[in-house]
Amino acid sequence: MSAESTLLYLDGVSVSFDGFKALNSLSLVMMPGEMRAIIGPNGAGKTTMMDVITGKTRPDTGTILFEGDTDLTRLREAAIANLGIGRKFQRPTVFEPHTVWDNLELALKAPRRPLKTLTYAISRDDRSRIEEILDITRLSALRSRQAGSLSHGQKQWLEIGMLLAQDPKLLLVDEPVAGMTDAETEQTAELLCSIAGKHSVIVVEHDMSFVRALGVKVTVLAEGSVLAEGSLDAVSANSQVIDTYLGR
Amino acid sequence: MLLRFFLMGLDRKAGIVLAILAFLAVVVPAMTLWVPADSPFHLSIFTVSLLGKYLCFALLALALDLVWGYCGILSLGHAAFFALGGYAMGMYLMRQIGPRGVYGNPLLPDFMVFLNWKELPWYWLGFDHFWFAALMVLVVPGALAFAFGWFAFRSRVTGVYLSIITQALTFALLLAFFRNDMGFGGNNGLTDFKDILGYDIQADTTRVALFVATVAALALSYMIASGVIGSKLGKVLVALRDAESRVRFMGYDTESYKLFAWTLSACMAGVAGALYVPQVGIINPSEFAPASSIEAVIWVAVGGRGTLAGAILGAVLVNMGKSYFTGALPELWLFALGGLFVAVTLFLPKGLLGLGAQLKAKLPGRKASTLPNAQPADQKGA
């Protein structure tokens, strides 16, 4: 398959840590606007895959192309983020001493160089964009609260809001509903689905009911490479997947 | 735009700090120069120089707080930048002595004559001009900090490891400046100053002018620092202090942010050193001693790190204590300082300025009403 029309193109990517192959010739293709769920047992390489895409870890071998022509393996984290790849970590990481509003302002798409931020003054457009995101993430009433004082679920939402503010082309979301109540999980699934289309999204998740609620194409990873790909029903019926992950 | 930048950092706390500094700049000269010597309101010239010295330390503490309190870079070598600024000023003051040295050599400072040097080393050229020396006060510490920071931050050296290499940096400079053939006067350093800008450095009016210049430098640095902290750049600094990789994945090149704050801080420390030297009349390698840098860390911790005003307060109070102790009970001072650091770390994690908030939080029912969901955050921090 040619890389040209793809948003993200991984081919033969391998990473090993002290001889342990975290990724073993992994290949994966994402089209613009696509949403994908990634599942797999612990140690399957889900987080490592996100690390190599975002520049945290350098692959030993393999190709990673963004929008068909940008080689991500040569860039640093900040440069990759500025290309339009956003990432949400497993544990919610918001900037606790800052207010909800400031967290969003920091994430908001704007020039990232130090001298630009030194002289930054919020514009009317930026203001209304932040208002809009506060509305989407249902945090409007909490705008001047310190992010550190939010509940776990609210922090997760704030972090998703920060990703929206960043306006990335591709969103990598690591276990967004870990530790959420059922109601929050459902709302988060709705939120992510509403984001898809404008942005491409990769979601890593253990929670099968959440993956079902998303209703998107699923990729199953095991031992660092792709085991199966397709709808959730199709991969759930796959005997290899049942053996290695879902259990008998 | 510049005005807006300064206004951005001006809140009530900044207003109080600037008002106190303005008050000092007016009242101290008046009490020294115009109040008659037999009046109880008279300040001796010795006291003025002592206060000037405290304020130089306050400026060093402010510089340190900018990197430690807001970027999480615990520098155990900030006195190095202070001393380099001091040496740059000292070199200018040495050149002003001219033929009035003990050996009467019109071209060379005394210590070079003593070492049988025939001509001025190239790196002393230009220091007979005040403007050049003033520029070097900023450029030398700034350039060293930039180079050091560039390598350290690019290599992602953080935390304790970074603290250790800052300590190594100041120790290396200490050893280098002890050497006579470095051309900075060896262990005696630079002293015996006569004039600054053509005025007698011992004269009362000059000493008062130096004090006022120190107050002005501190006020300006405070405004710059609070302007930086109040800007979006300052918010990025605080964010990267707590979660650096998160900031990176948001597209900020955190290394250049740290480098900016680090270099700015080193320049401020250099200015502090440059104002310190004419007021104490000497600069020697002992200023590079690791202990000086560590003392500066204690000032900031006592006042409250990450507060700017606290750094100033801590530096002044601890040094007043030091003046008292080293006079009254000299052998106890280091124990007192060490005990103070332990006590502050254990009981006042936010320093003196955080005391008010700490007491409020202790009152029953108060915390619950202001921070309803503080519990999970506390657990995570632990």
- Domain locations along chain B: 2-349
Determine the pLDDT at residue B373: 38
- Measured CA to CA, the distance from residue A241 to residue A228 in angstroms comes to 7
Residues near B362 by beta carbon (within 8 Å), at least 6 away in sequence:
none
| Count of alpha carbons within 13 angstroms of residue B239, beta-carbon side | 31
pLDDT in tens, B259-297: 999 999 999 999 999 999 999 999 999 999 999 999 999
Element (H, E) at B199: strand B199-200
The 8-class DSSP code of residue A245 comes to I
**Contact A121/B233, CB-based, under 8 Å?**
no
Return the minimum-mean-pLDDT range out of A231-235, B47-51, B228-232: A231-235
Q: Compute the mean pLDDT over every residue in chain B, rounded to the nearest whole number.
A: 91
Q: Which residues contact B41 (CB under 8 A, 6 or more apart)?
A: B31, B35
Confidence of residue B364 (pLDDT cuts 50, 70, 90): low
- Rounded Cα distance, A26 and B376, in Å: 38
Query: What percent of chain A stands above pLDDT 70?
Result: 98
Highest-scoring range by mean pLDDT, A194-203, B30-39, B367-376: B30-39
Instruction: With cut-offs at 50, 70 and 90, classify the pLDDT of residue B191.
Output: very high
Convert the pLDDT of each residue in B22-50 to its tens digit: 999 999 999 999 998 888 889 999 999 99
pLDDT tens-digit readout, B153-169: 999 999 999 999 999 99
Mark yes or no for CB contact B250/A120 under 8 Å: no
Closest Cβ opposite residue A107 in set B243, B250, B372 = B250
The answer to whether the Cβ–Cβ distance between B232 and A105 falls below 8 Å is yes
pLDDT over 70, % of chain B: 92
Secondary structure element (H or E) that encloses residue A225, with its range: strand A225-230
Residue of B nearest to A172 (CA): B249
Positive or negative torsion for Cα A52, A58, A63, A67? positive
Inter-CA distances, B313 with A7, B15, B310, Å: 55, 15, 5
A 10 A CB-CB count for A120 gives 18
Q: Taking Cα atoms as reference points, which of B241, B248, B267 lies closest to residue B146?
A: B267
The minimal CB distance from B238 to the residues A79, A98, A113 is found for: A98
Taking only the tens place, the pLDDT of each residue in B95-138 is 999 899 999 888 899 999 999 999 999 999 999 999 999 999 99
Residues in chain B: 382
Please state the length of chain A: 248
Question: How confident is residue B374, by pLDDT bands cut at 50, 70 and 90?
Answer: very low
- Judged by CB atoms closer than 8 Å, whether chains meet at A114 and B256 is answered as yes
The C-alpha of B373 sits at a distance from chain A's nearest C-alpha, in angstroms, of: 5
CB contact under 8 A, A96 and B377: yes
Give the pLDDT mean for A235-240.
83
* CA–CA distance, B352 with B358 (Å, rounded to integer): 10
So what's the pLDDT on residue A246?
A: 67
Of A128-142, A232-246, B187-201, which gets the smallest average pLDDT? A232-246
Report the C-alpha gap between A211 and A215 in whole angstroms: 7
Q: Under a CB-based contact definition with an 8 Å cutoff, are residues B296 and B78 in contact?
A: yes
Query: What is the pLDDT, as a whole number, of residue B1?
Result: 58
Packing angle, helices B232-242 and B45-71, rounded to 10 = 70
Residue range B65-83: mean pLDDT, rounded: 97
The shortest CB-CB distance from A78 to any of B5, B243, B253 is to B253
Phi, psi of A15 (to 5 degrees): -135, 135
Q: Which residue among A77, A95, A162 places its CB closest to the CB of B248? A: A77
Please report, as a single letter, which amino acid is at residue B62. Answer: L
Within chain A, where are the H helices? Answer: 46-54, 77-84, 100-107, 114-118, 124-136, 152-166, 182-195, 208-214, 232-237, 239-241
Torsion angle defined by CA atoms of residues B241, B246, B249 and B251, in that order, rounded to the nearest 10 degrees: -40
Tokens of A232: 């959730």
Question: What are the structural domains, with CATH classification, of chain A?
Answer: 8-246 (3.40.50.300)
B190-191 and A225-230 strand pairing:
unpaired
B contacts of A82 (beta carbons < 8 Å): 251
> Taking CB atoms and an 8 Å cutoff, what residues of chain B touch A162?
250
